[in-house]
Amino acid sequence: MAEANVGPKRGKGEMPVRLDDPEYWQARAEETRSFAEQIADYGSKAVLFRIAVDYERIAARAAALTKTSMLRQERN
């Protein structure tokens, strides 16, 4: 079975390299949603759409954290 190329290589248990990058996670959501639209199986399609929503939640969280971090830096 061939290994899928799904992003940067990282060790077991490590966090994704771009956890704090909202644009990265929004792009992942869009890619996942696009892929889901091509799937015929309803169950698989539903799972992929839920994953896309979760990626959007991560993007929103990353944006909020980035904004909070910038505000803290401005205060110091």
Q: pLDDT tens digits, residue range 54-64?
A: 999 999 999 99
Range of the domain at 56: 22-75
Note whether residue 68 is domain-resident.
yes
Question: What pLDDT does 25 receive?
Answer: 95
Note whether residue 43 is domain-resident.
yes
Tens digits of per-residue pLDDT, 2-56? 333 444 455 566 555 677 899 999 999 999 999 999 999 999 999 999 999 999 9
Note whether residue 34 is domain-resident.
yes
Note whether residue 71 is domain-resident.
yes
Of 23, 22, 30, nearest to 62 by C-alpha is 22
Name the domain count of the chain: 1
CA–CA dist 61, 20 (Å, integer): 8
Note whether residue 3 is domain-resident.
no
Note whether residue 17 is domain-resident.
no
Question: What pLDDT does 2 receive?
Answer: 37
Contact assessment for residue 59 and residue 25, using Cβ atoms and an 8 Å cutoff: yes
pTM: 0.69
